[in-house]
Copies of this chain bind each other. A is one copy, B any other.
Amino acid sequence: MLASNDMENCSGERLRVIGVVGGLGPFAGLDLVRKILRHTAARKDQEHLPLMLCSFPGKVPERPTFLLGQSSENPGDAIGDIMCRLARGGAEVIGMPCNTAHSPGILDRALEKLYRTSPEIRFISIIRSAVEHIRALQPAGGPVGLMGTEATLRTGLYQNALAEAGLEAVIPDGEDCELMQKAISDTRFGIKAFSDPVTQEARTALLSVAQRLIAEKHVSLLLLGCTEIPLAVTETLFQDIPVVDATDALARELVRASCPERLA
């Protein structure tokens, strides 16, 4: 058996096993793994980091439904089970590519389960990863255009974290929030239904929201605060404005937590 603490690469570096809570949605989990590989300095197989992905989408109820009070079934229970499964498999640092599931009402329940059996595991927050990345990118601050699901925006998850870092979040107008939500979850054209490739309609809708955040609200940075959005919007610069992808920021922090020398 591979014990969790015997991982090292060919150079004898100590490598912590990365665990990814996938399935929220499945393509967002895949996207995070891809970005972990892209951020790893490696020229052959053996130089890549140890990682596990658990994607059990059928087990995890819709996050927005719970957060918006339409269901009492807390997805944090199933997410906690997946985290425990990763920990039993040897994961030492865990990331979850779903911003909405970082709402305290869900995440606290999941982490409570995880820490009860595996208190030594390090959970890397996508919210903190993204906010720290923005602070490093724009030390002077400036309004951050926040894109995400209605549930994420309503819980104030990013607004609070940005405010604590001295940054101001600017959210789209009501109609644009609805348009973003449709681009993510509409079963006719949304990213969750059509992920690979996404529909032109979803991409156009998201870019139009971004364009209005820039033109009408004068944001100096765009934050893709939903892990479905970077499946459609892959730009790192849009109309000369930097675009921060929260999944990408999380990938970097997971590589750093596994082995800082391997961060590319």
CB distance from A113 to the nearest CB of B (A): 10
Copies of this chain: 2
CB distance from A124 to the nearest CB of B (A): 18
- In the complex the two chains form, what is the Cα distance from A88 to B38 in whole Å? 29
Name the CB-closest residue of B to A63: B45
* CB <8 Å contact, A59 and B50: yes
- Picked from B37, B45, B57, the residue with its CB within 8 Å of the CB of A45 is B57
* CB <8 Å contact, A192 and B55: no
* CB <8 Å contact, B59 and A55: no
**Count class of interface residues, chain A:** 35 or more
Most-contacted residue by chain B among A33, A57, A187 (CB, 10 A)? A57
- In the complex the two chains form, what is the Cα distance from A88 to B52 in whole Å? 13
CB distance from A19 to the nearest CB of B (A): 10
Name the CB-closest residue of B to A11: B58
Interface residues of A in 40-65 (CB under 8 A from B): 42-62
Q: Does A90 contact B (CB under 8 A)?
A: yes
* CB <8 Å contact, A44 and B192: yes
List chain B residues, Cβ under 8 A from A88.
Answer: 88-89
Most-contacted residue by chain B among A38, A42, A55 (CB, 10 A)? A55
Interface locus among A78-86, A131-139, A159-167, A210-218: A78-86
Q: Does A7 contact B (CB under 8 A)?
A: yes
